[in-house]
């Protein structure tokens, strides 16, 4: 069982590793102050509350979008939506970098509004 996000990514198949590292970089760039850790066995990012989770699976990466961002991008996330809060990005397909960046930034802003410094 991995104890860090680095260990989590290292145990993935190579095609998933590359995509996971790209997703991680997108999230870290969008929210550089976010705390990164494993939660519920998957990568988690927190910034003044829950920001976003992701996990790697056999054929896709799953991105778990929190409420405010999910509502703000309802139309844009629809092609990737698999459940209320889950988006699937198929392995080998390009990640929607701008959409992911926007989701993370909107959720961070919403978290700050709820929990100011």
Q: Among 36-40, 63-67, 91-95, 112-116, name the one with the lowest average pLDDT.
A: 112-116
Tell me the domains of the chain and their CATH numbers: 5-109 (3.90.1150.200)
What pLDDT, on the 0 to 100 scale, is given for residue 115? Answer: 80
* CA distance linking residue 114 with residue 117, whole number of Å: 10
pLDDT value, residue 80: 94
**Nearest-5° angle of CA 98, CA 5, CA 25?**
25
What confidence tens digit (pLDDT) does each residue in 92-112 have? 999 999 999 999 999 999 999
Residue 42, phi then psi, degrees to nearest 5: -140, 160
Alpha carbon separation from 96 to 11, 62, 87, 90, 93 (Å, rounded):
24, 13, 11, 11, 9
Average the pLDDT over each of 40-49, 75-84, 99-108 and give the range with the smallest value. Answer: 75-84
Q: ∠34-38-10 over CA atoms, to 5°?
A: 105
Query: Whole-prediction pTM value?
Result: 0.93
Q: pLDDT band for 68, please (50, 70, 90 cuts).
A: confident
């Amino acid at each position: 069982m991995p104890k860090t996000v680095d260990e989590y990514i290292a145990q993935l198949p190579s095609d998933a590793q590359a995509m996971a590292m790209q997703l991680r970089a997108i999230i870290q760039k969008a929210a550089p102050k976010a705390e990164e850790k494993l939660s519920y066995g998957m990568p988690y990012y927190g910034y003044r509350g829950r920001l976003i989770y992701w996990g790697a699976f056999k054929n896709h990466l799953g991105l778990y979008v929190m409420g405010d961002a999910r509502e703000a991008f309802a139309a844009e996330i629809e092609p990737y939506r698999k459940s209320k809060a889950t988006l699937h990005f198929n392995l080998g397909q390009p990640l929607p970098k701008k959409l992911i960046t926007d989701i993370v930034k909107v959720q961070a802003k919403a978290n700050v509004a709820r929990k100011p410094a």
